[in-house]
Structure formats: C-alpha cells, structure tokens
Structure 1
Amino acid sequence: MTQTDTAAAIEDAQSTFSGTREVDARYRLDEVALDRWMGDHVDGYAGPLTIRQFKGGQSNPTYELVTPGAAYVLRRKPPGTLLPSAHAVDREFTVISALYAQGYPVARPHALCVDETVIGSMFYVMAKVEGRVLWDLKLPGMEPGERRAIYQAQVDALAALHRFDPDAIGLGDYGRPGNYFERQTARWTKQYRASETGPIADMDRLIAFLPQDLPPQGPTRIVHGDFRLDNLIMAPDTAQVRAVLDWELSTLGDPLADLSYLLIGWAIPATLRNGLGGADLEALGIPSVEETVARYCEQAGTAAPAHLDWLFAYNLFRLAAICQGIAGRVRDGTAASPQARSMAAQVEPLAAAAWSFAKKAGA
C-alpha cells in the first residue's frame, strides 16, 4: 500500500467501518427460526424482522435486527472450526448482564441462546444503543476541545470498570485470580501457535522473553481485554460513553493490562487509523500518555504503573497474536470482516514494535 493509499484509508475509516451492509452469504441466518426464537425469549418482541450485518468487527459476526417497534443487536460465534476458548459470546452475555445491573454503560442484554440448531451457532441478543462509534484515534474533523473531552470520557469509563469488586457484583468466578500475565502470555502463545502461518522471529523472541520477566500481580478486577475508542458508543453530540462493546476477551485479571493496552495507541504510528505515534497531540487536543495515566490513577484510586515497557511489549505481542488468529481465519475462510486481510498483514509490524519495547524492558 502506498503512502497515498494509506492516507486515503485512514481518511475513509469512518465510512469503511461504520454502519451496516447486506449479510455476508457465509453468515446468513435462518430468519424464520430466529423470529420464532425472539418471540419466545425477548420480552416485547414483535416482528417482522429486518436483518443487516455490521461492517465493523473482526471476530464475532454482529447483526442489526430491526422491527417496527425496536432495534436489537445479535452477536454470534462464527460457524466452522474455531480456536479453543475463542468467540465466547456466552461470557460476553454474562459480563454485560452483571455490569448493566450496576448501571455501567453497556447495552441492555435480552437473551442468550446456546442451542446451535437455531441459527447454526451460539448467540445472544441485546438492545441497540444509538450513538457514534469513532474509528480513527485522531478524530478528524473535530475541534481540539471535543477530542480532549472524548479521551477523558474514555479513560473515565475504564477507571469506572476497574473500581468494581468482582465478588460484589456476582462476577467472582468470571476468571481465575492471580498469575494473570503469566496465564495470558501462555494463552496468547498457544493461540498464536495454533494459527501460525509461517515463522516470525520477533514473535519467537517474545515468546521466550515475556514469561521470564513478569511484572508483580496487581489487584483482581474485571479486565475488558480490548478497551479502545472504537469499542465505545459515544453519544451523538456529547462526550458521553453510552456503551462499551465487545467483551469477548474479558476476564478477571490485572487492570494494568487494560490501561497499558489503551496506551499502546500512543505508540502505534499515526499513519495507521489506530495509532497516535508521531502526531501533534497538543495541536489535536489529545491528552498525552502521562496525562492519561494521571487521570486514570486519580479516577481509579491507584498508584502510577511501573513496568510500562514490559506491558507495552506484552500488549503488542498479544495484539499480534490476535491478528495472527485473523490470518488463520482468512486462511480457513471463517474471517468475519472484509478488512480481515489488512488486519492479518499487521502481525509482523506489531511483533517488531513489541520486540522494541521488550528490549527497553531488558530483553
């Protein structure tokens, strides 16, 4: 891709990823069976039903369900052979149900279906939340004050999540406490190896290094696992987070995993839509890493994190492993998004960036 092509892709990110399209032939639903199931399990449901597929998202196919009186969102496991423990829509339903009951900004959950005979795989249905999903971290077309307010609202929502005691809201058994980074490093190594399509030296180096220099374990909290701007629905014209989306990777763990994952956006080059590295943050009105960390710590009531270089290396490694999983699904024909091939192409650059932080951390 040329520099001009890259710039055009960034500029067009909002239209590329926003909204819906016709349902991909690979992911068509049995509309009659779904209509019958909705009538039996979703309070107040009344058809007829119109179904479209959301453009965004790389993992679980996601659909807009529209009726004359209401709009819903359906998230399903992709059909076909999948990596172990991936695409856990039942876990998504569990965590958003608990958080919705606490008033945290998530979509209202309606019902979970574990009967794969209805549409071919497990799924759940939630309310559709109206608002904006912002796909480019640089927030083109906005004023500096608007950008700043959105970034502040984003970090405040993350801190609010991490203030919950999992036991107090019924999520004490949502994951295993302790040894979080050790377990996660092992998990993403396994997932990477399961979808590996060719040798990548930097990934091999990271797999050897990361378990040898683990940071100390922090408090056990609900970890979203993919907390970033384009997994938030913002109010149409204010900097209010109306819903946090895509809880597929959520578990119990160290909240610094979420914070440092959010912060890698500042390390990824600004030539990518999900990067701020090298951008003039002051001119854009976007808070710096230091400002973001300070606001998070104030809101979450925690000390400033140490070991950021290791945490950046880990998160970039994990993101590379996720992209490699997408590459594996492209190979197997089960990738849910037309943008999946470009995501798969990011594995090597992400691995190289991760290794550069690992070297700063002492590798």
Structure 2
Amino acid sequence: MSTQGEDNLGTTAVREGYTFNEPRLEAWLEAHVEGYRGPLRVRQFKGGQSNPTYRLDTPARSYVLRRKPPGVLLKGAHAVDREARVLTGLATAGYPVPRVFGLCTDDAVIGTWFYVMDMVEGRIFWDASVPEVDAAERSALFDAMNGALADLHNVDYVAAGLEDFGRPGNYLERQVSRWTKQYLADEDAGPDATLDKVIDWLNANMPSEQDARTSIVHGDMRIDNMIFHPTEPRVLAVLDWELATLGDPAVDFAYNAMMYRMPPHIVAGLAGEGLTRPGIPSEDEYLAAYCRRTGREGMPHYDYYVAFNFFRLAAIFHGIKGRYLRGNAASAQAKARVDVLPELIELTWQQTRRAAR
C-alpha cells in the first residue's frame, strides 16, 4: 500500500479551517434526516481533495457529510448539489451509490452548502494493484470495477430523471474548453508552458464526435473511489461524483483505464511494478471487456481520450495548487499533489506524443 493511501485512510479530528457550528448542524439533521437521533460526533476524513468530507457518528448509525470548501472558490466548482442529485437519480436505477438523506443550500447552517448520505462500510483499495489479495480475487476485483463502469454507462439516464444533467453532444470540445478555462483562471497557480502545448495539441487533434454515445459519466472513476464488499469482489458503492455529467462514456472509460499508464505515487496507478502483479488484466484485455459489456466493436480514439484525461487531471492538480497557495485546499495531502504536478504535466505531454503516432 502506498504512503499516499495510508495517509488517506480513516478519519482525524476536524482540521483547522474546516470546523463549523456542530449544534447548528445537529438541529438541521434533526429537522431533515429521517430517523436521526443524536448525540453527534464529527470527524473529518483524511482523504477528499476537493470537497471536505466528514464522518457523522450517532449511537444508532453513521452518516457522511460532503460540503463545499470554505474560502474563495472558482465559479462552477464544488457543486455538491449536483453530486446529491446524481446520487439520488442513480439510486432509483439500482446503481450502487450511497443513499442521500438531504441537501442543505443554506450557508447559515455550517458556512457552505452540504449534503448528508449513508455511510457504506466495506473495503477501499488505495493501491490499484491490490497487493493485499491473491491473484484470483485481484482478477475478480478488476472485473467488478470494469463492470461497474459499464453498468453506469448503460444506465437509462432519462428514466433516472437525469436527462437535463448535462448537454448531449460535443462533450470533448466542451471538456477541453472547460478545463482550459479552469487552468487559465487560477492565476495563483500560474501558467505552465508544457500544459499550454498540450492544450494546443488537444484542440488541433480533436476527433469527430458525430457518432459519440451519451451517458452518465462519473469523471473520477478510480478503484479508490469505490467501496467493495468486505469479503466479496463486489462493488457496494461508487463515491465522489463531483465531476459527473452527461458525456461520452468512452472518455470516462479512458480515465479509469489511465491507471495502466499512471505511476502509483501520483494517483492510484499501475505503471511500473503493478503491471506485473498476477491477476491484473492487460490494458488491451481491460478495454476489450468494457467493449463487450457496452456493445462496442472497439474504441478508435482511445489514446486521444487517455491524453485528454491526463490533461484534465493535471488541470485538477493545478487547481489544488492554487487552493493550497490560497490556504483553502481541502486535504492535508494537498502539498503532495502540488509536489507531483510537474511530473504529471510531463507525463501528460508524453501521452499526446503517444496518441500522435
């Protein structure tokens, strides 16, 4: 298990700058969460780079609270109301997500918007190579992750009440534009010449989106954003829906499969030793399994999609750098993200070269 994973495990006392009026929260819980009974104990999860996340314990049950971070925020970021909505919609479709108990858009309660959901107990694997299980279970876990991604992309988003959750069509174009704007808007983090080159390449080489599919896309589907059953290779809940929208599921799959080219010290990746661990399918096998599950004959622009996802992750880390410099980064591990940003940017450029071959 990586040090980063160990650092993200469990909870800690609420960190300085992220405290709030707990009696006011408890009054809101009593008024809005069915069956809530105190007293309340609040702890902060160590992970959660973007939206601060808290564990709420009572004698009868536990909950999770996700909130916008305090301080100055970029427009459109940290949309916890969208997270709550997609979780609610997917639950109606039978997709494995935590139950949402309530959303609060009144800043007077704890200082920012937040929502409260069920606490799902199970296993989270911070190391994508899953060294703590044997080869057979490792293979089954990868198959379950692949299936969870395919199941999401097969959800009828209209029937789930999410037909207006995003704009169908031109997903890549809008995403490249969105993350370019996010990157340029954060003046505290500053510009980067290599990222500027990446943006130029992405715009110049964007594939046609005429035949692209539309589905709910998660936007951050990594193995460490899934809770697995305590003893079975089965996904109980998918977490961290902040980036979810309607979009091209092939791009969403490529983000998940980016683990094959990502060093584990940046995010949950397999590049290096992890690729040799028994039970892990090859990148081609993993792609083929997803295509079978979603009725595809292949993914012609796969390498471009991977390059885009490296860029988007670099833009996200660039935003973490800005928040870190402003003093309102949501995680104690924000500095680690900032430290690996130059390496991530170089890897991003390498992916554009690979896609250009």
Give me the TM-score of the superposition, normalised by structure 2.
0.96
Cα distance in 1, alignment partners of residues 274 and 112 from structure 2: 45
Cα distance in 2, alignment partners of residues 83 and 199 from structure 1: 16
Cα 1:280–1:100 shift into 2, 3 Å:
closer
Cα distance in 2, alignment partners of residues 294 and 11 from structure 1: 29
Superposed, which structure 2 residues align to 1:182-193 within 5 Å?
A: 182-193=173-184
Extract unaligned runs of 5+ from structure 1: 1-9
1:271 Cα deviation from its structure 2 partner = 5.7
User: What SS class does the counterpart of residue 199 from structure 2 fall into?
Assistant: helix
Query: Is 2:202 the partner of 1:210?
Result: yes
Cα distance in 2, alignment partners of residues 115 and 282 from structure 1: 50
* 1:138–1:273 contact (8 Å) kept in structure 2: no
Cα distance in 2, alignment partners of residues 184 and 11 from structure 1: 31
Cα distance in 1, alignment partners of residues 191 and 79 from structure 2: 28
**How far does the alpha carbon of each residue in 1:6-45 deviate from its partner, in whole angstroms, 9 at most, with x for none?**
xxxx543443211110001211121111110000000000
User: What SS class does the counterpart of residue 246 from structure 1 fall into?
Assistant: coil
* 1:144–1:284 contact (8 Å) kept in structure 2: yes
Q: Which residue of 1 aligns with 2:356?
A: 362
Cα distance in 1, alignment partners of residues 279 and 264 from structure 2: 15
Superposed, which structure 2 residues align to 1:172-251 within 5 Å?
A: 172-196=163-187, 197-217=189-209, 218-251=212-245
Q: Which residue of 2 aligns with 1:332?
A: 326
Cα distance in 1, alignment partners of residues 218 and 267 from structure 2: 21
Letter in 2 for 1:43: E
Cα distance in 1, alignment partners of residues 217 and 318 from structure 2: 22
Cα distance in 1, alignment partners of residues 45 and 31 from structure 2: 25
Cα distance in 2, alignment partners of residues 362 and 286 from structure 1: 27
* 2:96–2:236 contact (8 Å) kept in structure 1: yes
User: What SS class does the counterpart of residue 118 from structure 1 fall into?
Assistant: helix
Letter in 2 for 1:93: A
Q: Which residue of 1 aligns with 2:288?
A: 294
User: What SS class does the counterpart of residue 109 from structure 2 fall into?
Assistant: coil
Letter in 2 for 1:252: L
**How far does the alpha carbon of each residue in 1:204-248 deviate from its partner, in whole angstroms, 9 at most, with x for none?**
101111122212321110010000001001111111100000000
Cα distance in 2, alignment partners of residues 104 and 169 from structure 1: 10
Q: Which residue of 2 aligns with 1:343?
A: 337
User: What SS class does the counterpart of residue 117 from structure 1 fall into?
Assistant: helix
Cα distance in 2, alignment partners of residues 314 and 353 from structure 1: 12
1:65 Cα deviation from its structure 2 partner = 0.4
Q: Which residue of 2 aligns with 1:40?
A: 31
Q: Which residue of 2 aligns with 1:70?
A: 61
Deviates more, 1:259-268 or 1:189-198: 189-198
Cα 1:247–1:283 shift into 2, 3 Å:
closer
**How far does the alpha carbon of each residue in 1:55-114 deviate from its partner, in whole angstroms, 9 at most, with x for none?**
111010000001111110000000111011110000000000001111110001100000
**How far does the alpha carbon of each residue in 1:103-156 deviate from its partner, in whole angstroms, 9 at most, with x for none?**
110001100000010000000000100101111112122211121111110010
Query: Is 2:111 the partner of 1:120?
Result: yes
Q: Which residue of 2 aligns with 1:306?
A: 300
User: What SS class does the counterpart of residue 246 from structure 2 fall into?
Assistant: strand
Query: Is 2:150 the partner of 1:159?
Result: yes
Cα 1:270–1:117 shift into 2, 3 Å:
closer
Superposed, which structure 2 residues align to 1:264-303 within 5 Å?
A: 264-270=258-264, 274-279=268-273, 281-303=275-297
Query: Is 2:124 the partner of 1:133?
Result: yes
Q: What is the alpha-carbon root mean square deviation over aligned residues? A: 1.5
Query: Is 2:88 the partner of 1:84?
Result: no
Letter in 2 for 1:108: R
Query: Is 2:48 the partner of 1:54?
Result: no
Cα distance in 2, alignment partners of residues 231 and 92 from structure 1: 14
Letter in 1 for 2:243: L
Deviates more, 1:165-174 or 1:31-40: 165-174
* 1:202–1:355 contact (8 Å) kept in structure 2: yes
Cα 1:100–1:304 shift into 2, 3 Å:
same
Deviates more, 1:278-287 or 1:225-234: 278-287
Cα 1:179–1:291 shift into 2, 3 Å:
same
Extract unaligned runs of 5+ from structure 2: none
Deviates more, 1:194-203 or 1:248-257: 194-203
Identity of aligned residues (%): 49
Letter in 1 for 2:282: S
Cα distance in 2, alignment partners of residues 335 and 269 from structure 1: 23
